[in-house]
Amino acid sequence: MPVRGEFAEPVDPAAARAALGLSDRAPVVLAMAGSRGSLGRLPDVVRALDALERPLQGLVVAGHDVRLRQTLERLTDGTRVRTLGYVEDVRRLMAAADILVTKAGGLTLAEAIAAELPVLAYGSLPGQERRNERFAARAGIGLVARSYLELVHLLDRALADPDLLDRLRARIRGVRRPDATQRIVAATLAQLERPARRP
């Protein structure tokens, strides 16, 4: 799947964290559900992060959904989680994060793979997103939670085990194609340059 050009470029995680005002002393959990955030279960993710006793920093992206942003701001007020609205620089957020909690939308999953960011899929919609979950789990590049309790358990496990996140990243490197856009364009242009066959 093609992704924006900036996903083909490396971004220094420490610089990304500093730019976002994040510490390098605690893991960063990024949660998002696309530009229309209400399609995911972001309030559940915020509650799960708040339930964990281990050190962490959270960023939750509400997208264009103003009502959801207000709900998330109430839930994150005074916690270790910061609520953001619509964000242009998703690449920087992904560079700063240790794990992404998201529904398994195709573009978000492709961007996370390009950024070498392990995914914990939660709240995916039936159909294609559930198939994307199965792909991530079978390829060993992500975790899947189907319930709130499983979400809390897998978040706690991932943050407690840096080796698990390293193994997920290693497998991501085997499947990532950050240059997919260039490959698609090149293949399309090659087809257009072939002489047309007469019927």
- pLDDT score recorded for residue 125: 83
pLDDT per residue as tens digits for the range 105-149: 888 888 999 899 999 999 888 898 899 989 899 989 999 999 999
Confidence of residue 190 (pLDDT cuts 50, 70, 90): confident
Across 116-146, b (16+ Cβ under 10 Å) vs e yields: bbbbbbbbbeeeebbebbebbeeeebbbbbe
Mean pLDDT over residues 76-83, rounded? 95
Q: Which helix (H) or strand (E) holds 67?
A: helix 66-76
Q: Can you tell me the distance from the alpha carbon of 85 to that of 158, in angstroms, rounded to the nearest whole number?
A: 26
Structure tokens at 3: 């992704």
Structure tokens at 109: 């999953």
Q: If phi over 0 gives left and psi between -120 and 50 gives alpha, with beta otherwise, what is residue 136? A: alpha
pTM for this model (two decimals) = 0.86
